[in-house]
């Protein structure tokens, strides 16, 4: 079976941003996303998920390289300063190129 | 000391000692949902008994109170605290609004002191949650066109807190005392037990906020104690003007003195993102919440007794 | 209107207004588990009081009823609805089976109307869950050798719903009314409060299903209302034949009218995967559940009163 | 048979049949937290009634009992079971310590047998949790300098179990019988219902441990039954020496016979990581817990009756 | 320390499929798997985890390239049509080659 | 926007190890971590998260190659023998090189 290269953009950020972030992803042209609940630590200190204000989410978007780059750049410019957030992009192979 | 307060102390202690004790997020949510609904229901039952029109003066008064407290807090934070505009606006919004947990503790306190109060207080609680949020946003950004007021309104009125309180109020009001009877075992009889679990968790959360406090120093501690004392005086005066009973006066003073940590943080995070949430939570949760719960409420009680006596 | 219904309305409203209100999955599970055990226990206590043999006619009747309703629904869905074979079979299975939530609302309704009913109804509830699932699978795939009946049986009988209902029944039956007494504060006294939380969540879920509905149009709405009305008539006739009381008749009509959304969706997803779950859930949860809860049960009550009067 | 036991049987059965039934982790935690607090509170209320000094002999006795049982178990496990040093030490710690779940079942059992007991037992429960852990660590590693006793103490005394039990004790003691009254609907009235849910989950967990058992054979089964019987005899003798009542004797025998599965596994995992947790959990949860709950407690009751009669 | 190349196959699908999927993974020759609860959106609409029927799981399998390819292809053929499911494969380094 | 190569170290292990593991990460020089709750199966059998003793966590650390290698090697040497644990490292791109 053939496989095709796509990008996996992973975003870890504050749970409070979920609705906003999903709107941004929908607008970016990506076809879907996956969210899991998370906790962690970074420049904004420990976020231990004990209550909504300190919970994180981990969002994954599989999409083409261009969408990944532009979505990442947009999120970076718009949210990095004010929110606890990290972004990273990995290379992945998918089986159905039209799906992503 | 009311035993529910001891659960709060247990939580703080466990948190400060870095115990492994942690309540799962789902338990926190469960406990919060039951408390919010219970408070709403209780208020709603009472509303069913009296004409809403008669409460109009009180309703207007607490809305104004919410606006005023936020507007007073802002310059203090800006000038004395030298905080950035957004931070001062956000903290002002927290202190103009109210804390449901503190309200619940005051109710429990009055219960064990056998002081009765106007049972429609949850209505005032709901009304007082919102105005300060609007003040906070305007203070932070001005009345600029770019503020997406649609999404602000959505955020404010459709947040978990307001929906459950208001929903409970309406259900209690529609069903009346008789109708709510079969719901009482969960929402009334368990109230104090659930509140105990809630305060245990709040203790753990409060302990975590103290880190934030250590970083941002003395001003926040001072503000977190002085502001509620001042607000309680304003609240007591308002209650006097409205002719509330002793219990009602204590509750209104407590509402004024309390600082939000459910509705406001969520709204500020979206609408004033440049405000640092560590500051406002350190003050509201790390200082004011324990102050009110452990020391403030008895003070407000004494104050009301003195004023009304 | 019973206040528990108002919680359902609150949930739907919050969902449609896209409120931030959401119950954690763990709370949904907790509430479901308590409801299922409570219903089972209640039925089991009753079974302890009477010889099982005497109930045999009723037990056989509801199993047949489950088969028949699914078999009637299928051609309607296929011909009138022009649905694909798998979809028609799956939806037929949902409507031949029963909804525990609807049953609980009917029990609460009869309670507040002070109408008593045969307390062994939970036994019939359990028995009626299964037959339609088998019909659905056979309708979808024929009695082909390739169907893994082992795993179907596993899926059906060892799903959460049946295990807890049946477990509760057996425990209630073994322990008897005396033995269950110390469990009553949780499983009986809190029943309505827990049911209220469950219906709040069901309202949120129902609101989400309405999207599915918008996409698949009018036929499902019509079917989702007409089918329960028809099933209720069949259920009422069966109850008449079995000589049930007024309350028992309302319950059996409601069981017949209700559409499953716990056991059947799970079983269909594994055994008839080509059926689109959006369709069946939109009909069962988006239309029939609210219809039964808000309008249907009082209608079935009126119908039973008229028939038995 | 007490109906709460039937919930345990339901859980085991569902687990062995590989049912889809699973309680979310958050529900397990919720139920555990309520049980631990309830047991602590109950003991604390009692402590408020009597001078602590009077209980000193009992307190010392159970601490010694915890040490002794672990020290007896170790050579048996090492010689007869030919287990590795770390494994033998870890299992010895489990059996020298106590199981809160087993204690709760014993309380429920005595309640339905209408046998009263010294209500300060939760104090002994707390005291008996710890000593065996220390024995276990020393047996595994010697009193080497490299053991980080600081983190051991932290792990042991600040684990969830001890914090909640001890916290409950202190709150109950500070608040007294009157003060705790408003908390009773949650912590006392619901106790048996919550215990039922806990045992349901424990049944599911026990069933999962049985796999571990199958792999590690007969010795663990034999030890898992013989050790509690032996410990119960020692516990009964200690109770006799201390002049406890019939109920108190049953409880102390049960405490001695029970094997920890909350505090000890967590502590061993960190402090004696080379011990295989599958072995200790298979014995403590797969054999001893069900043995005590289903058969042991009535045996210890009979033994106490015989000895004291 | 040496490191060895393996594949990480990630599957996001309906929670209802967990038991079945685990059986498939066991059969595939992979030595293990990791599951987390998730929600998301894709061609089958929003799955918000509010209740079991709308919950997702996110399953990861570290294995050799061949197993990853054949397992992915098998899952694709068998489940893609009827279930909400995505698959993607990334390259990873592991420390112990015999474990995976 | 420029992007920079970093490593993503993923650790799946027993929940009981969370506090210890976080201490190790803090010491390693990494700037943060993300934790999600998980369940799974491996050489140490099925860990189904039904209760704390059988729960897993999935920890991610974005850091430079050197930190990833040394942290992985250290965890491997120290914990692999006694704990249920796997480690794997992937290549990722990040937008802000100083953050990681
Ligand atoms: N180096 C890192 N590796 C993995 N996750 C990180 C890292 N730094 C930050 N995070 C996650 O991203 C969230 C926000 O990061 P920050 O904005 O740096 O506080 C943290 O709470 C962590 O969950
Ligand atoms: N492009 C994507 N990126 C990340 N996750 C996705 C993507 N598309 C789908 N998913 C996830 O996979 C699940 C099933 O996808 P689908 O079959 O497309 O509905 C969704 O509910 C999402 O959790
Ligand atoms: N091949 C694998 N792929 C993905 N996750 C794995 C794999 N092997 C083990 N795991 C995870 O790592 C945990 C510990 O692994 P182990 O030490 O092999 O028992 C397991 O419970 C799984 O969650
Ligand atoms: Na205020
Ligand atoms: Na039906
Ligand atoms: Na013991």
In order, the DSSP letters of B103-123 are: HHHHHHHHHHTT----TTHHH
List of residues 6+ apart from C64 with CB closer than 8 A: C131
Neighbours of B188 (CB within 10 A): 17
pLDDT class for F99, splitting at 50, 70, 90?
Answer: confident
- Ligand lying nearest the CA atom of residue D235: 6
- Ligand lying nearest the CA atom of residue E25: 3
Above 70 in pLDDT, residue E28?
yes
Average pLDDT, stretch C55-75? 97
CA separation for the pair B42, B56 (Å, rounded): 19
State percent of chain D over pLDDT 70: 98
* Contact predicate B110/B42, CB 8 Å: no
State if residue F31 touches ligand 1 by the CB under 6 angstroms criterion: yes
State if residue E32 touches ligand 2 by the CB under 6 angstroms criterion: no
Residue B205 C-alpha from the chain's centroid: 16
CA separation for the pair B203, B220 (Å, rounded): 19
Q: What are phi and psi of B256, to 5 degrees?
A: -60, -40
pLDDT in tens, A10-36: 999 999 999 999 999 999 999 999 999
CA separation for the pair E65, D52 (Å, rounded): 67
Beta strands in chain A (DSSP E): 4-14, 33-42, 45-47, 56-63, 85-94
Average pLDDT, stretch C192-203? 96
**What is residue D147's DSSP assignment?**
S
Mean pLDDT of chain D: 93
Above 80 in pLDDT, residue C148?
no
State if residue A62 touches ligand 2 by the CB under 6 angstroms criterion: yes
So what's the pLDDT on residue C145? 66
So what's the pLDDT on residue C76? 97
* Contact predicate F90/E90, CB 8 Å: yes
pLDDT class for C116, splitting at 50, 70, 90?
Answer: very high
So what's the pLDDT on residue B259? 97
So what's the pLDDT on residue D149? 78
Average pLDDT, stretch B227-252? 98
Total tally of structural domains belonging to chain C: 1
Q: What are phi and psi of F63, to 5 degrees?
A: -160, 180
So what's the pLDDT on residue D211? 76
B151-160, B277-286, C78-87, E15-24: segment of lowest average pLDDT: B151-160
CA separation for the pair D304, D297 (Å, rounded): 10
Determine whether the interchain pair D270/F50 forms a contact, defined as Cβ–Cβ distance below 8 Å.
Answer: no
β E56-63/F4-14 pair status: unpaired
pLDDT in tens, D254-309: 999 999 988 899 899 989 999 999 999 999 999 999 999 999 999 999 999 999 98
So what's the pLDDT on residue D2? 85
**Min CA distance, D274 vs chain F (Å)?**
5
Integer angstrom CA distances of residue A48 from B212, C278, D161? 14, 36, 21
Tell whether B114 is within 8 A of chain D (Cβ). Answer: no
pLDDT class for C52, splitting at 50, 70, 90?
Answer: confident
β E33-42/F33-42 pair status: antiparallel
Tell whether D196 is within 8 A of chain C (Cβ). Answer: yes
pLDDT in tens, B59-113: 999 999 999 999 999 999 999 999 999 999 999 999 999 999 999 999 999 999 9
Tell whether C14 is within 8 A of chain E (Cβ). Answer: no
What are B298's two structure tokens? 């008895």
Tell whether D159 is within 8 A of chain B (Cβ). Answer: yes
Atom of ligand 2 nearest to the CA of E86: 12
* List of chain E residues whose C-beta atoms are within 8 Å of the C-beta of residue A93: 88-90
Q: What is the pTM of this model?
A: 0.96
pLDDT class for A85, splitting at 50, 70, 90?
Answer: very high
Tell whether D25 is within 8 A of chain B (Cβ). Answer: yes
Range of the domain at C148: 3-308
State if residue E62 touches ligand 3 by the CB under 6 angstroms criterion: yes
3+ Cβ–Cβ pairs closer than 8 Å linking D and B = yes
State if residue F61 touches ligand 1 by the CB under 6 angstroms criterion: yes
List of residues 6+ apart from F14 with CB closer than 8 A: D269, F47, F55, F56, F57, F83, F84, F85
Domain CATH code at residue C90: 1.20.1530.20
Average pLDDT, stretch B235-253? 98
Above 90 in pLDDT, residue E98?
no
β E45-47/F4-14 pair status: unpaired
Residue with the bigger pLDDT between C151 and B160: it is B160
State if residue A64 touches ligand 2 by the CB under 6 angstroms criterion: no
Return the CATH class of domain E4-94.
Answer: alpha beta
* Contact predicate A8/A87, CB 8 Å: no
* List of chain F residues whose C-beta atoms are within 8 Å of the C-beta of residue A38: 34-36
What distance in angstroms lies between residue A36's CA and the mean position of ligand 2's atoms? 13
| C-alpha closest to that of F13 among E11, D273, D41, C307 | D273
Q: Which residues of chain D have pLDDT under 50?
A: none
Residue with the bigger pLDDT between F2 and B127: it is B127
The residues with which A93 forms a beta bridge, in sequence order, are A5, E89
Chain E 11-30, residues with CB within 8 Å of chain F CB atoms = 22
Q: 């998370």: which residue's tokens? A: A38
Mean pLDDT of chain A: 95
Above 80 in pLDDT, residue B197?
yes
Q: Which of F33, F36, F92 faces A88 most closely, judged by CB atoms?
A: F92
* List of chain B residues whose C-beta atoms are within 8 Å of the C-beta of residue D171: 3, 6-7, 10
* Contact predicate C77/C83, CB 8 Å: yes
pLDDT in tens, E55-89: 999 999 999 999 999 999 999 999 999 999 999 99
3-state helix/strand/coil string of D37-57: HHHHHHHHHHHHHCCHHHHHH
């Amino acid at each position: 079976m053939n496989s095709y290269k796509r990008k996996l953009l992973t975003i870890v950020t504050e749970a409070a941003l979920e609705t906003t972030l999903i709107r941004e992803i929908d607008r970016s042209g990506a076809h879907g996303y996956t969210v899991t609940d998370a906790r962690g630590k970074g420049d904004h200190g420990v976020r231990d998920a004990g209550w909504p204000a300190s919970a994180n989410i981990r969002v994954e978007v599989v999409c083409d390289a261009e969408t990944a780059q532009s979505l990442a750049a947009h999120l970076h410019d718009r949210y990095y300063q004010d929110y606890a957030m990290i972004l990273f992009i990995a290379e992945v192979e998918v089986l159905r190129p039209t799906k992503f | 000391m009311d035993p529910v307060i001891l659960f709060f102390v247990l939580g703080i202690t466990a948190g400060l000692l870095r115990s492994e004790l942690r309540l799962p997020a789902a338990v926190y949510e469960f406990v919060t949902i039951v408390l919010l609904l219970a408070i709403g229901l209780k208020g709603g039952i009472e509303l069913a008994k009296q004409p809403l029109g008669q409460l109009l003066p009180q309703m207007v008064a607490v809305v104004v109170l919410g606006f005023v407290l936020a507007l007073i807090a802002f310059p203090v934070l800006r000038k004395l605290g030298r905080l950035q505009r957004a931070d001062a606006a956000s903290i002002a919004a927290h202190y103009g609004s109210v804390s449901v947990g503190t309200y619940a503790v005051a109710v429990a306190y009055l219960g064990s002191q056998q002081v009765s109060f106007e049972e429609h207080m949850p209505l005032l609680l709901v009304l007082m949650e919102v105005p300060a949020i609007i003040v906070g946003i305007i203070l932070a950004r001005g009345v600029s066109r770019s503020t997406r007021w649609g999404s602000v309104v959505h955020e404010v009125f459709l947040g978990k807190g307001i929906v459950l309180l208001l929903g409970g109020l309406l259900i209690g009001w529609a069903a009346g005392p008789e109708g709510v009877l079969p719901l009482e075992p969960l929402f009334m009889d368990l109230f104090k037990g659930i509140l105990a679990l809630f305060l245990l968790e709040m203790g753990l959360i409060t302990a975590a906020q103290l880190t934030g406090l250590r970083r941002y120093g003395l001003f926040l501690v001072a503000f977190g104690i002085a502001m509620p004392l001042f607000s309680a005086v304003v609240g007591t005066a308002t209650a006097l003007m409205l002719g509330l009973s002793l219990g009602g006066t204590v509750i209104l003073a407590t509402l004024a003195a309390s600082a939000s940590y459910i509705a406001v943080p969520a709204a500020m995070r979206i609408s004033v993102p440049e405000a640092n949430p560590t500051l406002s939570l350190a003050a509201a949760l790390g200082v004011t919440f324990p102050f009110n719960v452990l020391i403030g409420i008895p003070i407000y009680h004494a104050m009301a007794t003195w004023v009304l006596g």
